[in-house]
């Protein structure tokens, strides 16, 4: 009998790592789920049975959101005390491999929901892929914008060539190539295609420098329509920014305010210059982050994967891809701005 059958039709889940993304973003409780714990307690098909943290204060916070969940300071003790279907791993990336290994070897879990970055280095990420392949367990990476319907709408517009072929991509980001960068690189890949080459132009200081998560302005090429792009890095001590502009033959799509607003523009005949076109605003989708929780959508997707065999939207290979981009950027910077090919990792 499955854990779900034993528990009145609910999957049994545990969250390992009760920092901001694991729990803290929902303390105090938010209108929409922002953390793993906050999303699980709102999901009718999942019961949170355990959480693993590093200090008792986290256990006290856990009790405010999920009073029936048991708090542990020991991962081994937690794994020995529960039969689990879902394990969320939200620890710092430098212990990610160790935790994934313990979970796979110490439980019969069917699905691991893994925070990004997947690991601290590409070799370590590849070791996680090799390890996961030895077990009957799916690993889904939390590339959060993949759970958003409006982001999928951008991808559909690109696939349908609603505005013709893609010409150029402009990106604006901060906080390092592994932190915000991992989401940005995946966003580009998910909506338009993979980066095939990168060339760093300059390094921009950010708070990520303290953890050696460097930030670069760089040029890149894509594997779609011969398109190219420019990513501009900003210092997050001025402000946090996460924006994307896609330029097509006959239009433009903008993602603004960290994904809270998406604007669509279309080309129309220029009113004063015959034979030329002018970009004009068509429509916008706004207040997106107040309408839907990407984290909540992720957990609904996890239950679809377990219940009905839905194809995972974000695989372990997807989670590792941004690290290939980051490694290529590091190599380009070390080479004085050399053009470097991005390995596919597939």
pLDDT tens by residue, 187-208 = 999 999 999 999 999 999 999 9
Q: Determine the Cα–Cα distance for residues 173 and 126; give it in Å rounded to an integer.
A: 26
Q: Are 148 and 190 in contact (CB under 8 A)?
A: no
Q: What is the pLDDT along the chain (346 residues), one digit of tens a residue?
A: 344 434 557 999 999 999 999 999 999 999 999 999 999 999 999 999 999 999 999 999 999 999 999 999 999 999 999 999 999 999 998 999 999 999 999 999 999 999 988 988 899 999 999 999 999 999 999 999 999 999 999 999 999 999 999 999 999 999 999 999 999 999 999 999 999 999 999 999 999 999 999 999 999 999 999 999 999 999 999 999 999 999 999 999 999 999 999 999 999 999 999 999 999 999 999 999 999 999 999 999 999 999 988 999 999 999 999 999 999 999 999 999 999 999 975 5
- Three-state secondary structure readout of 152-208: HHHHHHHHCCECECEEEEEEEECCHHHHHHHHHHHHHHHHCCCEEEEEEEEECCCHH
Token pair in block for residue 202: 């300059």
Domain with CATH 3.40.50.720 in the chain: 3-145+295-314
CATH number, domain 3-145+295-314, options 3.40.50.1820, 3.40.50.720, 3.30.2140.20, 3.90.1150.10: 3.40.50.720
CATH topology of domain 149-290+322-340: Dihydrodipicolinate Reductase; domain 2 (3.30.360)
Q: Determine the Cα–Cα distance for residues 151 and 153; give it in Å rounded to an integer.
A: 5
Tell me the pTM.
Answer: 0.89
Token pair in block for residue 248: 């097509």
Characterize 154-184 residue by residue with b for buried, 16 or more Cβ atoms within 10 angstroms of its Cβ, and e for exposed: beebbeeeebeebbebebbbbbbbbbbbbbb
Q: Which residue has the tokens 């996460």?
A: 242
Domain with CATH 3.30.360.10 in the chain: 149-290+322-340
Q: What is the pLDDT of residues 52-71, one digit of tens each?
A: 999 999 999 999 999 999 99
């Amino acid at each position: 009998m499955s854990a779900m059958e034993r528990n009145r039709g609910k999957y049994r889940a545990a969250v390992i790592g009760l920092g901001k993304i694991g729990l803290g973003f929902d303390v105090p409780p938010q209108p929409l789920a922002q953390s793993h714990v906050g999303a699980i307690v709102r999901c009718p098909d999942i019961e949170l049975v355990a959480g693993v943290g590093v200090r008792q204060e986290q256990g006290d916070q856990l009790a405010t959101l999920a009073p029936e969940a048991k708090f542990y300071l020991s991962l081994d003790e937690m794994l020995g005390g529960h039969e689990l279907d879902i394990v969320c791993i939200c620890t710092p990336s430098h212990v990610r491999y160790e935790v994934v290994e313990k979970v796979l070897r110490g439980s019969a879990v069917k699905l691991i929901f893994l925070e990004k970055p997947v690991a601290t280095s590409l070799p370590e990420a590849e070791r996680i892929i090799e390890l996961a392949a030895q077990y009957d367990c799916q690993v889904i990476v939390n590339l959060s914008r993949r759970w958003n319907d409006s982001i999928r709408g951008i991808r559909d517009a690109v696939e349908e060539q609603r505005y013709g072929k893609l010409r150029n991509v402009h990106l604006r980001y901060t906080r390092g190539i592994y932190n915000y960068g991992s989401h940005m690189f995946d966003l580009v890949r998910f909506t338009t295609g993979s980066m095939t080459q990168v060339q760093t132009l300059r390094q921009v200081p950010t708070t990520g420098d303290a953890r050696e998560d460097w930030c670069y302005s760089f040029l890149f090429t894509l594997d779609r329509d011969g398109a190219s792009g420019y990513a501009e890095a900003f210092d997050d001590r001025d402000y946090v920014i996460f924006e994307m502009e896609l330029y097509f033959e006959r239009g433009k799509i903008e993602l603004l305010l960290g994904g809270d607003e998406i604007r669509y523009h279309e080309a129309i005949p220029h009113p004063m210059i015959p034979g030329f076109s002018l970009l004009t605003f068509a429509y916008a989708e706004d207040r997106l982050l107040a309408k839907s929780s990407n984290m909540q959508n992720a957990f609904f997707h996890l239950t679809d994967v377990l219940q009905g065999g839905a194809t995972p939207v974000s695989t372990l290979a997807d989670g590792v891809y941004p690290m290939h981009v980051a490694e290529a950027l590091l190599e380009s910077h070390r080479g004085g701005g050399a053009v470097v090919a991005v390995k596919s990792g597939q």
